[in-house]
Each structure stands twice: as C-alpha cells, then as structure tokens.
Amino acid sequence: MAKNQRVAIVSFQEHFNKIFKVFIKFGTIEPVVIALICWIIVIIGSLIHDFHRPPEFYLSDKRNIFNALFAKWCLAWTLAFLTPYMGLTYLVKSKYNLKSVSKKVLRLVVAVTIWFVVTTVLDWIENLTGECEGSDLYSKKQECFREGLVWNGIDISGHSFLLAYCTLIISEEVQVVRYWTNEKIYPNETIYANEKNSPNKNIYGERIQTNKQIYSNETFQSKSKQEFVSVRCICIVLYICCCLLMMLWVTLLVFTAVYFHTTNSKILGIILALSAWILTYKVYFLSKYFPGAATRF
C-alpha cells in the first residue's frame, strides 16, 4: 500500500510539473506583448462588432454568469489571488522582512487607488455629459436607469479598462515566478551549518555576516526545508490561479470587444488601461520615488 502511494505521488508530481511548465511559459510572456494583445483584441473586436457581429448566444448577454460574477468583480478576484502570491513570495525572498514585503504589496494599493479614481471620473463624465432620453425629470444616470429609460452621456467602457488593466497587473507581478523556478534557492544542509563551515554567501546570493546566529540543529533544518517546500507549493498553486484569471480576463475582453459598448468607448477604455499601466509599472514603480520598486528577474 505504501509503495502504491509513493508511486501515485511521484506520478502526480510528474504530471503537475508538466502543467506547471506550461503555465510558466504563459505567465512569463513579456507584459508589453500582453498589452499589445489587449490592444489588438479591442480594435479587431470593435470592427467585428460594427461590421459583422456574430449571432447572439449566452455569453453575449450581459447578464451571463461570467460577466456578473467575474467581469464586474475583476479587481477583487485579481487581488484575492495576487496579494497572497506576492506576499508569500516576497516574504521568503526577503528572508521574512515584513517591511520589504509591504513595500512590494504597495503596488497593489496603487492599483486599487487608480481603479477608484478612474471609475469615479468615468461616472462623473457620463453624468455631466448626458441627459435622460424620454424625460426631463431625471438629472442623474441612476434615476434614469431606475425608470427603465436611456442615459445618453459619454460612456467610456469600464469593462475594457478594468479587464485590460487587471490582465497587465497580473502579467507584471507573476514574473517573480522565476524566483521559484531557480534551483539555487532550495534549502540544503549547508544553509544552517555551523559558522565555521558556512559558505560566504547564502541561498539568495548575499553575503552572510559572521556575527549572526547560525543554527546547526538538524531538526530545525528539516523543519525549515518542509516549511519552504510547503510555501513553494502554495505559491505555485496561487501562480497557476493567477494565470487562469489572466486567461479569463483576456477571454472576457474578447466578448466585451465583440458584443458590448461602442467602438469609441472601448478604445477610450483600453487607452486608459494602457496609460495607467505605463505610468505605474514603466515609470512610477521604477523610479526612486516609489519605495516598492518592481522586481525583474
């Protein structure tokens, strides 16, 4: 029985590693390429919407479960998986330096702030520039919709903005998976060796100070290795979930481009997403003024 269990575990690990390698190839695609794909999707999808719209089906209905459960809560789903993934990865990478981890996760706080500001401004613009068709009694979009009427203000596609922006955030942050695929980081018997036999550098390639306490207890070594492997497994599962979310956001962006909103509103939405991504990950996050600089491997 024990032998059969070991065989089953080894077989599972082999299949899991094959799946993981596929996701590694997908997740490590350069964010610039992902940005270009999002732009092409919106442009081509909008042309299809205007000139040769496909037949209606379940996913073309805005009340479909993917739109109601995922697209509208796109940022929440992204944060739910990306936050623990980043937190655990940078926690191990920084040798449990909570201050360093908080600086990295600060990038997600900036993302939430951008989402709040952009969506608030979009609602304000639509209210400011529109009026309720069929009645002069309602001066706000919500009141107009409540009565089943149409508001004709400038509608910039929030779906295009949010789906593309969340896709790009995930694409940038999962690049740190290269840390977990580096075999040099695995704990071994020399990591907690006594000070006399310690190497000049630790598993992170950093020099060790001889005045720090270095553990030699074999039980502690074994426990540390088990904890490391457990955290790595959790992070790999979270990484795969993030990649699946990114695939879902791209798929929903396709349906948004083909079936919903006007061409102008979708193009403005994707421009906002690309602008937010460039200003944060390509400018602000790489500057000396931001404490949690983006990590590239």
Which range of 51-65, 124-138, 173-187, 239-253 scores highest in mean pLDDT? It is: 239-253
Predicted confidence (pLDDT) at residue 186 exceeds the cutoff of 50 = no
Helix or strand (DSSP H, E) at 283 = none
What is the reported pLDDT for 138?
66
Quick: pLDDT tens for 112-152. Answer: 999 999 989 988 887 777 777 766 666 677 777 776 677 77
Question: Rounded mean pLDDT of the chain?
Answer: 78
Query: CB atoms < 10 A from the CB of 293, how many?
Result: 15
What is the chain's alpha carbon radius of gyration, rounded to the nearest angstrom? 24
Handedness of CA 143, 146, 149, 154 (dihedral sign): positive
| Helix, coil or strand: residue 22 | helix
What is the reported pLDDT for 137?
65
Domain ranges of the chain: 23-185+208-286
Quick: pLDDT tens for 22-81. Answer: 888 888 889 999 999 999 999 999 999 888 888 888 777 778 888 888 888 999 999 999
Predicted confidence (pLDDT) at residue 154 exceeds the cutoff of 80 = no
What is the reported pLDDT for 21?
80
Burial environment of residue 118 by CB neighbours within 10 A (0 to 12, 13 to 18, 19 or more): buried
Task: Give pTM, 2 decimals.
Answer: 0.79
